Amino acid sequence: MGLNLFRVAGDLSHLASIFILLHKIVQLKSCSGISFKSQVLYLLVYITRYLDLPWTHSPYNFIFKVLFISSQLYTIYLMAKEYRPTNDAGLDTFRVEYLLGFAALLAVLFPVKYTVLEVFWAFSIWLESVAILPQLFMLQRTGEAEAITAHYLFALGAYRALYIPNWVYRYMTEPHHKVDTIAVVAGVLQTVLYSDFFWIYYTKVMKGEKFKLPV
């Protein structure tokens, strides 16, 4: 995949979301308000997407793949061990088996090719598109979020939203570039799921108010 401003901005936004989350957990010594289930799903996304890590030749891709996997493992370690008493297990109740089934079914039915790497790659793309749902469901149940948690979610949502103009740019500037239907549809789906959050973030947090869902 070629590099352009939109893709680099998206990748940096993705990395920033992880660092914001780690900063929140370590600084406050708490993972309250963070869905452990979503974090586990994201780890599964990275593992199944980066099965080609040993054969990655691009230094840019290799560094980001290692950063995403290692930082996600560290996040899960903090939530499962260091700050486990602060986990909101009673609120983190989304049935993730439906999300796993959704991603697995589409990966098997519509892979780019029927190879192990391509099926797992498709699985990771579909799973990532819905991996945030346990977190959004948790937000819906609590009705509000700390500002730093809202910043984390905004950066994570912005990452995928920035990939949409990246695809448009590549389609317009690279004569032999083929549209990746799976990535585009999943990316649009993920951005749509964030739409309400983006609006509340803009109208509340960006104006210095607390992130709170309307009653």
Write down the pLDDT at residue 177.
60
Rounded distance, CA 193 to CA 190, Å? 5
Is the pLDDT higher at 95 or at 215? 95
The residue with tokens 């999300």 is 99
Nearest to 93 by CA among 37, 41, 45: 37
Q: Write down the mean pLDDT value for the chain.
A: 89
20-47 pLDDT, tens digit per residue, is 999 999 999 999 999 999 999 999 999 9
Give me 96's structure tokens. 């993730």
Q: Residue 212: what are its φ and ψ, rounded to 5°? A: -145, 130
Whether residue 208 is predicted with pLDDT greater than 90 in this model: the reply is no
For residues 167 and 104, what is the distance between their CA atoms, to the nearest angstrom?
Answer: 24
